Amino acid sequence: MVGFVEIDENNFYEVVALELKEDQRKFVAPNVRSIAECYLYRNDNDVFPYAIQDGEKVVGFILIDLDEDAHEFMIWRMMIDKKYQHLGYGRATVEMALEMAKKEGKYDTFIADYVKGNDIMGHMLESLGFVNHSFDNENNEYVMHFKLN
């Protein structure tokens, strides 16, 4: 069963060691950078990094950004290790994040974006009911929305 686990001394090195396929590296920042950015924004109290685990096995990483003022729940970054891709972990991760947002009950919009060219992520988000909201030229990303309310 897939779950989100806080990153600590027990799984930090496994999370940092996760890898994408060579042609995917342009789509997601390295996990160590994401964790460092969490440290930079730690005073905002709205950025949460998690290991994605299947039992004791770390299969991926997700970074969630919450904006309670705007009532938005966002997947800032997400990656599944190259060894565990095409096994349903990506979809299960987004579904779990959706359930987390719904359970909180204080968010109207769930946001997920993906870099242009990452068609697998785009198709997966569309299949879950996300709709194209905008294109962020600065980051070369499609911004997808899912209405929670």
- Mind listing the pLDDT tens digit of every residue in the chain (149 residues)? 789 999 999 999 999 999 999 999 999 999 999 999 988 887 777 899 999 999 999 999 999 999 988 999 999 999 999 999 999 999 999 999 999 999 999 999 999 999 999 999 999 999 999 999 999 999 999 999 999 98
Alpha-carbon distances, residue 53 vs 57, 62, 90, 143, 145 (angstroms): 5, 11, 12, 26, 25
pTM to 2 decimal places: 0.92
Nearest to 97 by CA among 71, 116, 76: 76
Is residue 38 within 8 A of residue 50, CB to CB? The reply is no
Which residue shows structure tokens 């992520």? Answer: 121
- Name the residue ranges covered by the structural domains of the chain: 2-110
In angstroms, the CA 133 to CA 74 distance is 13
Domain 2-110: CATH class, spelled out: alpha beta
